[in-house]
Chain A
């Protein structure tokens, strides 16, 4: 059965809050929250977030490829809903080549 956007959003919120203690961010996280502008992350922090997500789902995701594609599309920030969509696309696609 496919995992829904709602389930992923809930998972992501949990992951954010598990890690937020180190970020010193106390605002609410919504689908529109921007990782760079609102949470104050730098590009290298996105890798850290990716690690948390992979640990939660116990599988690898093509984060580097995704970030490169975002750059090619000249996206200057990533919103929480973008992450949810990325995970939705990958979790509901074939897992070939993800977990080794």
Chain B
């Protein structure tokens, strides 16, 4: 087998985007990689969202157990006010921690929820970190002094450019779109250069990097990436934007090729995504619907969507409870990213709400009404699936979850804003998440040219542990993807089940917790620009 495993994360990677790029010759290395490797869809969690998705992938645990269900969570179990999640909220051990305890080292680049940093054996440069604080958020802190010596190192490009990202959503200037794509091309190169440096200078048994421009480009530029939506006779500008998108993926293919070469022929290389992608063509205003059905009473100052992707900042998020929390509110949605509905129960979070004994009948009626809601123009069902919390988030952390989680027909996220109409076509198609992500792998002992049935995202961690010749902790919910390995390998080296994982401390010694919310502020701004925060 192998003593070196590489995990390349493609945030939002989806075969519906990648396959055309493979066919068109934009990603020739990945095409060859798949011809001699394995591929299959990777089923994400509920909801298919970056924080719960990646956390599930790197813990082998489900959101109901690791506790990350959204970008946000309540400040405390009894609070109605929300804040961004961070590494302290991850209540299960990560892959990097598991292998560290067993004497191996990991390099971890650009993964979310890595701040405040938790000590591991190896190196962490966290994702979602603002440039001003990245120095203090690296682990170990001395790592920053090393990576800043890399030729071309640009701290601000490495982290984020909030102004540029904001313009990409709010503005329509052609020049701004080009700058925005070019920025992400440069930014991915920054991450790649750090990876190359560390693979040369401090190789670890597990090397993991996340390229998140895949997600951003698809969110903002879906009509330029999806051939279905790209015009048959594009303007010169449209063609230029598409070419820039292709340049991003062409560069990514080159990075993958170089990473595989650096890892060497004895390494096992895995590519995976946290969720898939697809188009979104309409907006479902869940709180407006709850208001119409008599569950939600708006506060007098609750904003109404202007119909032009109006966005509200931190102030609105922190005071949202006040907007939907009038005394007669019995059900509300707090974040657009969760697709969740909370039921106000008397005594829970200080809400007046319904009496506890009314919970089940109210929830059942609400589910039924959600399913019955139809598009007034076509009669089509809008809400395609409603999960009660015990189905979506079984586990010790379930109490942090919304009471209901929705899937809507275009696969997108709900809007939590007020609106005169409950369902509205988007002025332009945008990209949004889908449950089916990607899984690709190649290496010694792995089967070749195999197309797999879908795996679960929680299977990745145990599969990587098996590749590293480590026992799989008994409490992981995922399983080793045995079907990707040659039968002789499994026979010679049976899967070993080991001791359960360790529950992480909320405030581990050696963490840099003081920088946590410095990063939170900028991350929140970034989410706003991506449309998760309205």
Contact = CB atoms under 8 A, between A and B. Distances in A.
Given A52-B514, A54-B516, A100-B506, A43 B314 contact: yes
Contact of A99 (B79, B132, B506): B506
Contact of A64 (B318, B513, B515, B525): B318
Interface residues of A, number: 31
Contacts of B356: none
Contacts of A19: 518
A52 B132 CA distance: 13
A73 interface: no
Nearest to A98: B76
A62 B75 contact: yes
A68 B314 contact: no
Interface in A30-74: 43-45, 47-52, 54-56, 58-60, 62-65, 67-68, 71-72
Interface string B268-307: 0000000000000000000000000000000000000000
Contact of A60 (B76, B314, B518): B76
A22 interface: yes
A43 B528 CA distance: 14
Contact of A47 (B78, B79, B514, B517): B517
Interface string B494-523: 000000000000110000111111111100
Given A55-B513, A58-B513, A60-B75, A67 B318 contact: yes
B75 A68 contact: no
Contact of A52 (B76, B314, B518): B518
Contact of B81 (A47, A59, A68, A97): A68
A51 B76 contact: no
B321 interface: yes
B78 A72 contact: no
Interface string A72-100: 10000000000000000000000001111
A64 B514 contact: no
Q: Chain A binding site: helix, strand, loop or mixed by DSSP?
A: helix
Interface residues of B, number: 35
A59 B75 CA distance: 12
Given A22-B132, A43-B314, A47-B314, A63 B507 contact: no
Contact of B513 (A44, A54, A72): A54
Contact of B116 (A55, A97, A98): A55
A52 B517 contact: yes
B521 A44 contact: yes
Given A51-B514, A58-B507, A65 B81 contact: yes
A18 to B, nearest CB: 8
Contacts of A99: 506-507
B68 to A, nearest CB: 13
Interface of A: 15, 18-19, 22, 43-45, 47-52, 54-56, 58-60, 62-65, 67-68, 71-72, 97-100
Given A51-B516, A68-B322, A100-B89, 4 more contacts: A44-B521, A47-B520, A52-B514, A60-B76
10 contacts: A19-B518, A47-B520, A51-B521, A52-B514, A54-B517, A55-B517, A63-B75, A64-B75, A72-B322, A99-B506
**A-B CB proximity, top 3 nearest:** A51-B517, A55-B514, A97-B76
